[in-house]
Structure 1
Amino acid sequence: MSPSPNDFLVVRGEEIVLGDDPIILKGAGLGGWMNMENFITGYPAHEHQMRAAMKQVLGEEKYEYFFDKFLEYFWTDEDAALYQSLGLNCLRIPVNYRHFEDDLNPRVFKASGLKHLDRVIDSCAKHGIYTIIDLHSAPGGRSSIYQTGTVYRQNIEWHCDSGNHQALLYAHKDFQDRTVLIWEELAKHYKDNTWVAGYNLLNEPTDSEHVRLLALYERLEKAVRAIDPNHILFLDGNTFGMDFSHFGEPLPNTVYACHDYSTYGFPSSPELFTFGPVYQNADDGLSNWEEINDSRYSALEHQLSIYRRDKASWAIWLYKDIGFQGMVYVDKQTPYMRLLEPFLKKKKLLAADCWGVDIAPVKQIFQPMLDWLLAAVPGIAERYPKVKKPDVMLGRMVRNMLMSEELCHEYAEFFRGKSFDELDALAKSFSLGSCNQRSRLNEILKADAAASR
C-alpha cells in the first residue's frame, strides 16, 4: 500500500501503521554518504579532518567537484531499483550537520545541503521506499569543514565526526540551540512529504548524566512538532542506543530505537558491533574465511528471526562500502580502489580504524601500555560508557585519533595533481555499476522481507 498525499506513517500502540494497515520497516543505513565514515570509504580519522586535508591538496574548485560527484554517484536510481528488488521498504539516511550549517557562520541554514538529500528521498519515493532522516553528527565544535581542530558531538566516536573522546553537546546550550534550529529547518522542508517516515533526532547519544539527553529530546520534540505534527520521531536510547533505563513515559507518535549490539563472530577486537556483521575476504590471510562468514550470516539470520517474530522494524548497517559489511561494495579494480590499495593495506596493519578492525598486528605494542594504564589509574575501568573498555579507549585516543589525524595528509596526497576527469572516475567508483553485490547477505535480507509479507 502506498501513501496518498495526506497519509503519514504513524505509531499506533506497538505498531507503525499506514491508515489501518500495519507496516514493518525493513532496510539499511546509507552510511558513508552525507555522513562519511573512515572504514566505509577508506580515509583515516574523522570526516572534517580528511576534508581539510583534501581541500588543501585539491584546492577549492576540485575539492567541491570531487565531493559533489561522490554524493551524486553513491546513490542513484539504480541503487533504489536494486533496493526495491530485495523487498526493502525503508532507507535510513545519516547526515552530518555540516551540510546545513558552517561553524564560522552558525545558526544560518544552508539550503544547498538539501540538494542531494532531496534527490535521494525522491528517488526512494519513486521506488516505493520510505526514508528516515538521521542526524548522525550534530553541531558542537570549534572547527569548520575546512579546518582542523577540536570537535565535540553527541557521542564519543568517529561516526559523529567528533575528533575527540568527549560528548559535549549536552554541556553547551549553544550547540543544542543550533541542533534545534537545524531540525526546525528540516521539519519545515519535509513536513508535507509522506514518503519520509520520520526524523531520527540523534544517532547513538552518549550522555554520562542521562538526564541532559532526555531534556534535549523533549526540547527537540516540542520544536519539531510545532512545525510538523505528523512525522514519526525516532529516538535512540542513551549509550549508543542501548540504554533506556532513565526514559519515562513514551512520547506520542514516537519509535524508540535500540541498537542491537553483538560480539559474536567478529575480528579479534574487544569492540562491540551492531546489527550487521563485518565479513572476511580472501585477502585477509585466513584459510577458513568463508567458514567464518558462514557463521556470521547465521548469526544475522538468528537476529532477523527474532525481529520477525516480534514484528519489529529494522535497518541493517550498511548499504554500501569498500568491502567490510556493505550489501554492495566497490570493486577492487575501480580507479579508487587501485589508487588507494597501498594505503588501505597500511591502514589495516596499523589498526587505524575502530570499526571491524583486527588489533592482532599491534597488540604486542599496546598491551604494555594498557597494563601500565590499568595499574596507574584502575578507576578507568569504570569510566562511562563502560561498554568501551580501557583497551578500546586507549586505541581510540592513540590509533584512531592521534595517529590517524596524521594519516589524513598521507591519504590526501594520493589525490594530488588529479584532473577533473580523473576525479570524476574516482568518485564514479562508488556508483552501483562499479560495485559488487554481497549476494549471500542480500539473499538473506530478501528472504526475510518476503517472509513478512
Structure 2
Amino acid sequence: MVPSANKVVNGTPRITDGGLPPCTMLHVDGTRIVNPAGETVILKGAGIGGFLNMENFITGFAGHEHEHRAQLASVLGQKKAEYFFDRLIHHFFTDADAAYFASLGLNCIRLPFNYRHFIDDMSPNVLKPGGFALLDRCVDICARHNIYVVLDLHAVPGGQNQDWHCDSGAARAQFWDFKDHQDRVVQLWEALARRYGRNPVIAGYNPLNEPADPTMTDNGFYGARLVRFCARIEKAIRAIDPDHMLFIDGNTYAMDFRAFTESPLLPNTVYACHDYNKMGFPTGQQYEGTKSQREYLRSSFERKVKFMRENNVPIWNGEFGPVYDDERRVGSAAAAETNAKRFALLKEQLSIYAETGVSWSIWLYKDIGYQGMVYVDPETPYMKLIQPFVTRKQELGLDFWGVVDKSGVEGVYGPFISGLKTMVPEVYHSVKYPKVWSFDRHVERVVRECLMSEYVGWEMAELFRGKTEEELEVLASSFAMENCKQRDELSAILREDAISR
C-alpha cells in the first residue's frame, strides 16, 4: 500500500528576498540542463547529508545509522530515542538554513535519504507515510526560497555499495544479489514519482547514490547489474512521471561509467560523477598549487567524465569537497595554514567545472566541523556532551572520514594486517572489488569501521542515559542554524562561483 499521492504537494514556489528566480521544470537538451524557455540552468549547491540519512562523521556517532538508533533506544527507550531523532531532523534544516543557502546564490540542494524512513524490512510491502512527510517538509522549505531539490536515495535495502554510509551493517553490497531488494526500491521510486511528478521544485531523481556493483559486463567492465537496474528504474519512473530528469551515478562510487558504454543512453538523463581528491584530505600529499597538481586535478576529473564528453550529455558532479582542519586540535595557525591549501584546492576544482558549465553539489552543508559550510558550535550542549567521544573515535581511527592520524592504533592494526597478508598468497591481495581499495583498506573497513565502531558506539549511547525530553530537545536544537557557525571563507568561495553562473 502506498500513501495517497493524489494531492498536489509543494506548489509553485514564491520569489523571496534570496533573489533566486522561481523554480521551473528542467530537462536535458544536449549537453545542457535547460528550463522551459530553453535557457541554460547550471545547478550549484550542496548535499544535506546527516539529515535523512545520518552519517557518523557528520553528527558524531560511530558505525552505522541503524545501529546508532538502536543503541540510543536501548538506553533511552524507543519513545524518547525517536523523539530525539525527530527533533534533530527538525532543527537540522529549516527556513533559516534555506535562507542562508539562497543568500549565497546557491540554487540546488541534493537531499540524501535512507530507505528505512519509507520501508520496514519486516513489512516491506507497506510504505511508511512518515518518510514522505519528511521529504515534503524539506521540499516545501526549498520551494519557499526557490531552491531546486535533487532527491537522492542514499541507502537502499542490502546496501548498494560496500561502505558504511549506505547503512547496511555489512561490507558487502547485497542489493545486487537479491531481486526483492531491487523490487522494493522500484516500488519506492514509483511512489515518489507519483508524489512529485508535477512539482517544478524537484530538479530530478538520483535513484542510487554511489553504486558499487561487482558483476562484469561481457567486455570486462564492472557494473553489469547496475546498467540493467538503471534501465529498469528509468522505465518504472517514466511510466508515472515522464518529465523529471534522472541523475545516474556511475559505478564504483560514481567514478566509472565504462559499463554504460554497452547500453543505449537513457533519455532526459544527467550522468553524475563524484570528484573527491586525496589532496583535500588529512593524510597523504597536500595541495600546493603546483603545475603537476593542477594537471592531475584536471586529468582525474576528465577521466571520470569521459563518458559524458563522448556522448554529449550534461555533467553533474554530485559530491566533492575537502576536509578542513580544526584549530582546537592543532592550533589556529596550523589549521589556517592547512585550510588555506584546502580552499585553494576547492577553488581550482570549481574553475575546472566552470570551463564547460558543469553542475555541482558540494559535500557538505552542515556537520560537527569536518566539511560543512556551517557546523555546530563547539559550545553547544550537544558538542560539549559528545566531544570526548568524538576525540576517542579519532584516536581509535574508527571513522575513515574523520580520522586525521591513525598512528595511535598502528601498533595494533599494522602487525594484524601484516599477519593476515601472510595467510593469503600475494597474487590475490588485489583481486577483491572494489580494486581501488588496498588489502589494508578492505580489512580496516570491516574491522575498524564496522565491527569496532559498533562496539564503541555503545559508549556514545551511554552519554544519553537518563536524559529527559526537555534535555533531548536542548541537545537536538544544537543543530539549529542559530546555534551553528559559518565557515566564512568556504561560503565566500561558493558565493563568488555561484554569482558567476
Same fold (TM over 0.5): yes
1:249 aligns with 2:264: yes
* Contact 2:50 2:367 (8 Å CA) reproduced: yes
2:362 aligns to what?
Answer: 316
Amino acid at match of 2:482: G
- In structure 1, give the amino acid aligned to 2:245: I
Counterpart position of 1:401: 450
Which one of the candidate residues 277, 283, 297 is aligned to 2:328?
283
2:421 corresponds to? 374
Structure 1 vs Structure 2 CA RMSD: 1.6
State the secondary structure of the residue aligned to 1:93.
strand
1:161 aligns with 2:207: no
Question: By how many angstroms is 1:162 displaced?
Answer: 1.9
Aligned residue in 1 for 2:156: 138
For residue 444 of structure 1, report the CA deviation from its aligned partner.
0.4
Aligned to 2:32: 15
Deviation of 1:373 after TM superposition, in Å, equals: 2.7
Question: 1:84 is matched with which residue: 77, 96, 102?
Answer: 102
Which secondary structure does the structure 2 equivalent of 1:203 belong to?
Answer: coil
Give distance in 2, aligned partners of 1:340 and 1:253: 45
Q: Report the Cα distance in structure 2 between the residues aligned to 1:360 and 1:266, rounded to whole angstroms.
A: 16
Match of residue 470 from structure 2: 421
Question: How far apart, in 1, do the equivalents of 2:252 and 2:74 lie?
Answer: 36
1:155-304 to 2 correspondences below 5 Å: 155-209=161-215, 210-247=223-260, 248-268=263-283, 275-285=320-330, 288-304=334-350
Determine if contact 2:278/2:284 at 8 Å carries over to the other structure. no
Q: Could you tell me how far 1:386 is from its partner in structure 2?
A: 1.3
Moved more, 94-103 or 111-120: 111-120
Asked if the contact 1:69/1:424 (under 8 Å) is kept, the reply is yes
CA contact (8 A) 1:269 1:357 kept: no
Mark the runs of 5 or more structure 2 residues left unpaired by the alignment.
1-19, 216-222, 286-299, 301-318
User: How many Å separate the matches in 1 of 2:469 and 2:191?
Assistant: 34
Query: How many Å separate the matches in 1 of 2:167 and 2:232?
Result: 23
Give the superposition deviation at 1:70.
0.8
1:40-79 map, 5 Å: 40-79=58-97
| 1:436 aligned partner | 485
Give the match for residue 13 of structure 2: none
Matches of 1:125 and 1:354, distance apart in 2 = 35
Post-superposition offset of 1:387: 1.4
Task: Work out whether residues 327 and 334 of structure 2, in 8 Å CA contact, stay in contact via their aligned partners in 1.
Answer: no
Q: Following TM superposition, where does structure 1 have runs of at least 4 consecutive aligned residues deviating by more than 4 angstroms?
A: 1-4
- State the TM-score, normalizing by the size of structure 2: 0.85
Is residue 375 of structure 2 the alignment partner of residue 329 of structure 1? yes
The structure-2 alpha-carbon separation of the partners of 1:269 and 1:114, relative to structure 1 and needing over 3 Å to count, comes to farther
Letter paired with 2:480: S
Q: CA deviation at 1:168?
A: 1.1
Q: Deviation per CA, 1:265-316, whole angstroms, max 9, x where unpaired?
A: 421269x9x6110000112236622111111110100000011111000000
Q: How big is the shift at 1:409?
A: 1.4
The Cα of 1:398 is off from its aligned counterpart by 1.2
State the match for 1:144 in structure 2: none
Q: What's the TM-score, normalizing by structure 1? A: 0.94
**1:146-175: CA deviations, max 9, x gaps?**
xxxxxxx10011111121111011110110
8 Å contact 1:266–1:356 — kept in the other structure?
no
Query: Partner amino acid for 1:415?
Result: F
Give unmatched runs, 5+ long, in structure 1: 141-152
- 1:298-339 Cα shifts (integer Å, max 9, x gaps): 010000001111100000000000000100000011010011
Q: Is the contact between residue 204 and residue 241 of structure 1 (CA under 8 Å) also seen in structure 2? A: yes
Count, aligned residues: 437
CA–CA separation in structure 2 for the residues paired with 1:65 and 1:183 = 27
The CA deviation at 1:2 is: 4.2
Contact 2:157 2:168 in 1 (8 A): no
Is residue 36 of structure 1 aligned with residue 54 of structure 2?
Answer: yes
Q: What is the DSSP-based 3-state SS (H/G/I as helix, E as strand, rest coil) of the residue aligned with 1:276?
A: coil
Measure, in 2, the Cα distance between the counterparts of 1:300 and 1:155. 26
